[in-house]
Amino acid sequence: MRIPILAANWKMNLSRREAKNLVEDLLKVAFPVQQREVVICPSFHLLSEVGSLLEGKANYGLGAQNVYWKESGAFTGEVSPTMLRDCGCSHVIIGHSERRGYFHETDKDCFAKVEAALQHNLVPILCVGESLEQREAGKTKEVVLGQLQGALKGQSVSSGDKLVIAYEPIWAIGTGKTDTPEGAESTIAVLRQELGNLFGERIAQQVRLLYGGSVNAGNVDALMAQPNIDGALVGGASLKAESFARIVNYQTQASLAN
Ligand code: PGA
Protein backbone atom coordinates (compact mmCIF):
# COMPACT_ATOMS: atom_id res chain seq x y z
CA MET A 1 0.00 0.00 0.00
CA ARG A 2 1.26 3.46 -0.87
CA ILE A 3 1.02 5.96 2.00
CA PRO A 4 -0.28 9.28 0.59
CA ILE A 5 1.95 12.36 0.83
CA LEU A 6 0.64 15.88 1.29
CA ALA A 7 3.53 18.23 0.63
CA ALA A 8 3.61 21.99 1.23
CA ASN A 9 5.75 24.01 -1.18
CA TRP A 10 6.07 27.39 0.52
CA LYS A 11 8.23 28.74 -2.35
CA MET A 12 9.90 32.10 -1.51
CA ASN A 13 7.43 33.09 1.19
CA LEU A 14 7.18 33.61 4.95
CA SER A 15 9.34 35.23 7.61
CA ARG A 16 10.65 33.22 10.55
CA ARG A 17 7.81 34.44 12.72
CA GLU A 18 5.14 33.69 10.12
CA ALA A 19 6.57 30.22 9.55
CA LYS A 20 6.57 29.45 13.27
CA ASN A 21 2.96 30.58 13.67
CA LEU A 22 1.89 28.61 10.61
CA VAL A 23 3.52 25.36 11.74
CA GLU A 24 2.19 25.71 15.28
CA ASP A 25 -1.33 26.38 14.01
CA LEU A 26 -1.11 23.51 11.54
CA LEU A 27 0.02 21.03 14.19
CA LYS A 28 -2.95 22.01 16.36
CA VAL A 29 -5.40 20.88 13.68
CA ALA A 30 -3.46 18.33 11.64
CA PHE A 31 -1.53 16.26 14.14
CA PRO A 32 -1.37 13.38 14.76
CA VAL A 33 -1.79 12.07 11.22
CA GLN A 34 -2.14 8.42 10.40
CA GLN A 35 -1.90 6.63 7.09
CA ARG A 36 -0.50 9.75 5.48
CA GLU A 37 2.76 11.67 5.38
CA VAL A 38 3.08 15.43 5.50
CA VAL A 39 6.18 17.13 4.11
CA ILE A 40 6.82 20.82 4.68
CA CYS A 41 9.18 22.47 2.18
CA PRO A 42 10.20 25.94 3.37
CA SER A 43 12.90 28.17 1.89
CA PHE A 44 16.47 27.47 3.00
CA HIS A 45 16.56 30.11 5.76
CA LEU A 46 13.64 28.45 7.56
CA LEU A 47 14.77 24.82 7.37
CA SER A 48 16.43 24.50 10.78
CA GLU A 49 13.68 26.32 12.61
CA VAL A 50 10.83 24.44 10.96
CA GLY A 51 12.81 21.22 11.44
CA SER A 52 12.94 21.88 15.20
CA LEU A 53 9.19 22.47 15.33
CA LEU A 54 8.56 19.19 13.50
CA GLU A 55 11.02 17.15 15.54
CA GLY A 56 9.39 14.06 16.99
CA LYS A 57 6.17 14.67 15.05
CA ALA A 58 5.48 11.27 13.54
CA ASN A 59 4.71 11.23 9.81
CA TYR A 60 5.90 14.82 9.35
CA GLY A 61 8.94 15.38 7.13
CA LEU A 62 11.04 18.38 6.16
CA GLY A 63 11.88 19.12 2.53
CA ALA A 64 14.07 21.64 0.74
CA GLN A 65 13.02 23.25 -2.53
CA ASN A 66 16.30 22.72 -4.33
CA VAL A 67 19.72 21.10 -3.95
CA TYR A 68 23.07 21.16 -5.71
CA TRP A 69 24.70 17.85 -6.61
CA LYS A 70 28.22 18.54 -5.32
CA GLU A 71 29.24 17.62 -1.80
CA SER A 72 31.04 20.88 -0.88
CA GLY A 73 33.42 23.44 -2.35
CA ALA A 74 33.52 26.68 -4.29
CA PHE A 75 29.90 26.87 -5.49
CA THR A 76 28.72 30.21 -4.16
CA GLY A 77 25.03 30.31 -3.38
CA GLU A 78 24.45 26.58 -3.61
CA VAL A 79 23.40 24.11 -0.91
CA SER A 80 24.58 20.49 -0.89
CA PRO A 81 22.69 17.31 0.00
CA THR A 82 24.88 16.87 3.08
CA MET A 83 23.93 20.37 4.25
CA LEU A 84 20.25 19.55 3.78
CA ARG A 85 20.66 16.39 5.84
CA ASP A 86 22.44 18.50 8.44
CA CYS A 87 19.32 20.73 8.71
CA GLY A 88 17.12 17.65 9.21
CA CYS A 89 15.72 17.35 5.69
CA SER A 90 14.18 14.08 4.61
CA HIS A 91 12.97 15.26 1.18
CA VAL A 92 13.92 17.67 -1.57
CA ILE A 93 11.90 19.11 -4.46
CA ILE A 94 13.77 18.78 -7.75
CA GLY A 95 12.95 20.24 -11.17
CA HIS A 96 10.02 22.43 -10.15
CA SER A 97 8.75 24.27 -13.24
CA GLU A 98 9.75 27.60 -11.67
CA ARG A 99 13.34 26.36 -11.48
CA ARG A 100 13.21 24.97 -15.00
CA GLY A 101 11.65 28.19 -16.31
CA TYR A 102 13.35 31.02 -14.38
CA PHE A 103 16.67 29.33 -13.65
CA HIS A 104 17.04 27.25 -16.81
CA GLU A 105 17.35 23.90 -15.07
CA THR A 106 17.58 21.08 -17.57
CA ASP A 107 16.68 17.39 -17.39
CA LYS A 108 20.43 16.75 -17.10
CA ASP A 109 20.62 18.98 -14.00
CA CYS A 110 17.59 17.17 -12.60
CA PHE A 111 19.31 13.83 -13.20
CA ALA A 112 22.40 14.96 -11.24
CA LYS A 113 20.25 16.34 -8.43
CA VAL A 114 18.11 13.20 -8.16
CA GLU A 115 21.24 11.06 -8.15
CA ALA A 116 22.84 13.15 -5.39
CA ALA A 117 19.63 13.13 -3.34
CA LEU A 118 19.29 9.34 -3.59
CA GLN A 119 22.93 8.86 -2.61
CA HIS A 120 22.41 10.97 0.51
CA ASN A 121 19.20 9.34 1.58
CA LEU A 122 17.04 12.32 0.68
CA VAL A 123 13.75 11.48 -1.02
CA PRO A 124 13.58 13.44 -4.29
CA ILE A 125 10.20 14.92 -5.19
CA LEU A 126 10.79 15.19 -8.93
CA CYS A 127 8.41 17.60 -10.68
CA VAL A 128 7.29 17.22 -14.27
CA GLY A 129 4.62 19.11 -16.20
CA GLU A 130 3.66 20.64 -19.51
CA SER A 131 2.99 24.25 -20.51
CA LEU A 132 -0.38 25.37 -21.84
CA GLU A 133 1.07 25.58 -25.35
CA GLN A 134 2.35 22.00 -25.15
CA ARG A 135 -0.98 20.83 -23.80
CA GLU A 136 -2.93 22.56 -26.55
CA ALA A 137 -0.62 20.93 -29.09
CA GLY A 138 -1.57 17.52 -27.62
CA LYS A 139 1.95 16.95 -26.30
CA THR A 140 1.30 16.52 -22.57
CA LYS A 141 2.29 12.88 -22.32
CA GLU A 142 5.28 13.24 -24.60
CA VAL A 143 6.60 16.18 -22.54
CA VAL A 144 6.16 14.63 -19.10
CA LEU A 145 7.57 11.29 -20.22
CA GLY A 146 10.62 13.08 -21.65
CA GLN A 147 11.18 14.87 -18.35
CA LEU A 148 10.72 11.66 -16.38
CA GLN A 149 13.17 9.72 -18.54
CA GLY A 150 15.67 12.60 -18.59
CA ALA A 151 15.87 12.75 -14.82
CA LEU A 152 15.54 9.05 -14.05
CA LYS A 153 16.83 6.81 -16.83
CA GLY A 154 20.03 5.21 -15.54
CA GLN A 155 19.43 5.99 -11.85
CA SER A 156 19.78 3.17 -9.42
CA VAL A 157 16.58 2.98 -7.40
CA SER A 158 16.50 0.15 -4.89
CA SER A 159 13.12 0.91 -3.39
CA GLY A 160 10.21 2.81 -4.88
CA ASP A 161 9.22 4.39 -1.59
CA LYS A 162 12.41 6.48 -1.76
CA LEU A 163 11.21 8.30 -4.85
CA VAL A 164 8.30 10.71 -5.32
CA ILE A 165 7.08 12.23 -8.58
CA ALA A 166 4.85 15.30 -8.77
CA TYR A 167 2.86 15.92 -11.94
CA GLU A 168 2.31 19.67 -12.06
CA PRO A 169 0.88 21.12 -15.26
CA ILE A 170 2.47 24.57 -15.50
CA TRP A 171 -0.79 26.23 -16.55
CA ALA A 172 -2.39 25.01 -13.30
CA ILE A 173 0.28 26.35 -10.94
CA GLY A 174 -0.90 29.37 -8.97
CA THR A 175 -3.70 30.05 -11.46
CA GLY A 176 -6.72 28.58 -9.70
CA LYS A 177 -7.15 26.24 -12.69
CA THR A 178 -6.79 22.56 -11.89
CA ASP A 179 -6.57 19.57 -14.14
CA THR A 180 -9.70 17.44 -13.82
CA PRO A 181 -9.27 14.47 -11.48
CA GLU A 182 -9.67 12.16 -14.51
CA GLY A 183 -7.19 14.15 -16.60
CA ALA A 184 -4.58 14.15 -13.84
CA GLU A 185 -5.18 10.45 -13.25
CA SER A 186 -4.67 9.63 -16.90
CA THR A 187 -1.32 11.46 -17.13
CA ILE A 188 -0.15 10.06 -13.79
CA ALA A 189 -1.07 6.52 -14.86
CA VAL A 190 1.16 6.96 -17.92
CA LEU A 191 4.00 8.13 -15.68
CA ARG A 192 3.61 5.06 -13.48
CA GLN A 193 3.66 2.82 -16.52
CA GLU A 194 6.94 4.42 -17.61
CA LEU A 195 8.38 3.91 -14.12
CA GLY A 196 7.59 0.24 -14.66
CA ASN A 197 9.60 0.28 -17.91
CA LEU A 198 12.51 2.02 -16.18
CA PHE A 199 12.66 0.18 -12.86
CA GLY A 200 10.29 -2.77 -13.02
CA GLU A 201 6.71 -3.20 -11.86
CA ARG A 202 7.45 -3.73 -8.15
CA ILE A 203 9.20 -0.38 -7.82
CA ALA A 204 6.67 1.41 -10.03
CA GLN A 205 3.88 0.31 -7.70
CA GLN A 206 5.75 1.71 -4.68
CA VAL A 207 6.51 5.19 -6.04
CA ARG A 208 4.17 7.89 -4.79
CA LEU A 209 2.88 10.06 -7.64
CA LEU A 210 1.46 13.41 -6.58
CA TYR A 211 -0.65 15.96 -8.40
CA GLY A 212 0.15 19.67 -8.04
CA GLY A 213 -1.37 22.82 -9.48
CA SER A 214 -3.99 24.84 -7.58
CA VAL A 215 -4.84 22.04 -5.18
CA ASN A 216 -7.08 23.44 -2.45
CA ALA A 217 -9.47 22.43 0.30
CA GLY A 218 -12.32 22.22 -2.22
CA ASN A 219 -10.77 19.96 -4.86
CA VAL A 220 -8.45 17.71 -2.86
CA ASP A 221 -10.99 14.98 -2.07
CA ALA A 222 -11.87 14.36 -5.73
CA LEU A 223 -8.21 14.31 -6.77
CA MET A 224 -7.28 11.92 -3.96
CA ALA A 225 -10.11 9.57 -4.95
CA GLN A 226 -8.20 8.65 -8.14
CA PRO A 227 -6.39 5.32 -7.91
CA ASN A 228 -2.98 6.51 -9.13
CA ILE A 229 -2.92 9.87 -7.33
CA ASP A 230 -1.01 9.32 -4.10
CA GLY A 231 -0.91 12.86 -2.80
CA ALA A 232 -0.57 16.52 -3.58
CA LEU A 233 2.14 19.15 -3.86
CA VAL A 234 0.51 22.33 -2.66
CA GLY A 235 1.72 25.90 -3.09
CA GLY A 236 -0.68 28.76 -2.30
CA ALA A 237 -3.09 26.74 -0.15
CA SER A 238 -0.21 25.51 2.03
CA LEU A 239 0.48 29.05 3.30
CA LYS A 240 -2.62 29.08 5.49
CA ALA A 241 -2.88 26.58 8.34
CA GLU A 242 -6.61 26.13 7.91
CA SER A 243 -6.57 25.28 4.20
CA PHE A 244 -3.50 23.08 4.39
CA ALA A 245 -4.89 21.24 7.43
CA ARG A 246 -8.04 20.51 5.43
CA ILE A 247 -5.88 19.18 2.61
CA VAL A 248 -3.89 17.00 5.03
CA ASN A 249 -7.17 15.75 6.46
CA TYR A 250 -8.67 15.11 3.02
CA GLN A 251 -11.68 12.82 3.03
CA THR A 252 -11.44 9.39 1.52
CA GLN A 253 -14.41 7.60 -0.02
CA ALA A 254 -14.63 5.49 3.13
CA SER A 255 -14.61 8.45 5.52
CA LEU A 256 -17.25 10.25 3.41
CA ALA A 257 -19.52 7.19 3.65
CA ASN A 258 -19.38 7.24 7.48
P1 PGA B 1 -0.04 26.07 -6.35
O2 PGA B 1 1.50 25.65 -6.52
O3 PGA B 1 -0.67 25.07 -5.41
O4 PGA B 1 0.01 27.46 -5.78
O5 PGA B 1 -0.65 26.02 -7.69
C6 PGA B 1 1.89 24.30 -6.60
C7 PGA B 1 3.36 24.19 -6.85
O8 PGA B 1 3.93 25.03 -7.57
O9 PGA B 1 4.03 23.26 -6.34
User: SS3 letters for 167-180?
Assistant: ECCHHHCCCCCCCC
Q: How far apart are CA 123 and CA 221, in angstroms?
A: 25
Per-residue pLDDT at 56 = 96
pTM of this structure:
0.97
- Mention every residue, 6+ apart, whose C-beta is less than 8 A from residue 134: 140, 143
Q: How far apart are CA 65 and CA 71, in angstroms?
A: 17
Q: How far is the CA of 13 from the centre of ligand 1 (A)?
A: 13
> Which residue's alpha carbon is at the smallest distance from atom 2 of ligand 1?
235
Which residue in 244, 176, 252 sits closest to 27, CA to CA?
244
- Mention every residue, 6+ apart, whose C-beta is less than 8 A from residue 43: 10, 11, 12, 13, 14, 65
Q: How far apart are CA 30 and CA 248, in angstroms?
A: 7
Segment-wise mean pLDDT, segments of 10 residues, the chain, 258 residues: 97 98 97 96 98 97 98 98 98 98 98 98 98 98 98 96 98 96 98 98 98 98 98 98 98 75
- Does 96 participate in catalysis according to the annotation? yes
Q: Is 168 in the pocket of ligand 1 (CB under 6 A)?
A: yes
Q: How far is the CA of 173 from the centre of ligand 1 (A)?
A: 5
Q: How far apart are CA 176 and CA 149, in angstroms?
A: 29
> Which residue's alpha carbon is at the smallest distance from atom 7 of ligand 1?
235
Residue 41, burial from CB neighbour count under 10 angstroms (0-12, 13-18, 19+): buried
User: Which atom of ligand 1 lies closest to the CA of 233?
Assistant: 9
Contact 235, 256 (CB under 8 A): no
Q: Is 234 in the pocket of ligand 1 (CB under 6 A)?
A: yes
Per-residue pLDDT at 1 = 87
Per-residue pLDDT at 258 = 62
Q: How far is the CA of 8 from the centre of ligand 1 (A)?
A: 9
Q: Strand 91-94 and strand 123-128: pairing? A: parallel
Residue 30 identity = A
- Does 104 participate in catalysis according to the annotation? no
Domains of the chain: 5-257 (3.20.20.70)
Phi, psi of 166 (to 5 degrees): -115, 120
Q: How far apart are CA 131 and CA 252, in angstroms?
A: 30
Per-residue pLDDT at 4 = 98
